[in-house]
Structure 1
Amino acid sequence: MDSLLIPVLILVLVAAGVLLVVRAWSRRGERSRPAAPPQPDTDSAELARVSAARLNQEQHRRIYALIAQGQAMAAIKVYLEATGEGLRASRDAVAAMAAHPQPYRAPEAASPAVPDEDDVPQRFPYRYRAIASKGDVTREVSSNMLNDEIYGRIRTLAKSGDTEAAATALTRHSDISMKQAREFIALLDD
């Protein structure tokens, strides 16, 4: 029995040494690999704002026209040619711009703007469509003075019961009459 004890101890020590070497080698390999760069959120409003700011007015208009026509590949190509960014960055930028439409801002106005008052509607280079329906009745408002934020405020006013203020805000940001606005708001108040 004593004659087997020494070879077994040597075998255990060798196995432990091999395990330590393998563990150290794998840790060293993990440290030498570069960390993956963080991927931008392709649907972020910030990416859309930054991407739109890189375009001149004609490029901005062309890209949003192509997005509106459902020609995403052509919009990506125009963005790629306009900015010189890579294909993946151009794809992400166009996807963000489609998800979060941005008005064209001249280079002087590219700095953070003071939020517009509701009294002075801003015109956007794209048409916004708001649709409300109840049962068989459907109403649509299409305007280049509406966006998600303004329409959200109008819906909040309607849902809180202030239908007159909601109708007034809707007429201020579109080209519809007060009667049409009231009919539209009546479909939202549920």
Structure 2
Amino acid sequence: MESLLIPLLILVAVTVAVVLATRAWSRRQQKPGGPEQAPPDSAELARAAAARLSEDEHRRLYALIAQGQAMAAIKLYYEVSGLGLRASRDAVAALAAHPQPFRSAPQKPSEPEPDDDETPQRFPYRYRAIASKGDVTREVSSNMLNDEIYGRIRTLAKSGDIEAAATALTKHSDITMKQAREFLALLDD
């Protein structure tokens, strides 16, 4: 009788495991979308979750995550996001698994930006633009120029709007209008 007890226990354990697996599979099939619907990408969920937070909320949430206070982090996210408890839990888990830096929401300008900035930005380097034709060479050196601004100036000059290009060049450098016109006249056609 004892020799049959161990195989009988194994048979019962296997039967219970098969029944539990079958139940889990049938529940999974009953969910909307079925098993072929993939869960959302955890990294994408983390990016979306971080976008819902202000800078202070972001800092507080990651402080709680770093301290291992998952329940407090979920509660905080639940309160500030307006999402449900399960969505808040998933968002905090995604944020913990894929840390996100704080990114402020991009502000949309109310008016279209003009080609030239109102006040030129100063860069930590000095930009040199050189134009030459034949034996004549001119150079403009400024810490208010960069490739993008100089490209816009060249585009204006090549399109025939020399005055706008000269104005932009004088605005982003320390040269006169006359010097700017001379420089632009030397640009390749």
Shorter-chain TM-score: what band?
0.3 to 0.5
Kindly name which structure, 1 or 2, has the bigger radius of gyration based on alpha carbons: 2
TM-score, structure 2 normalization: 0.39
TM-score, structure 1 normalization: 0.39
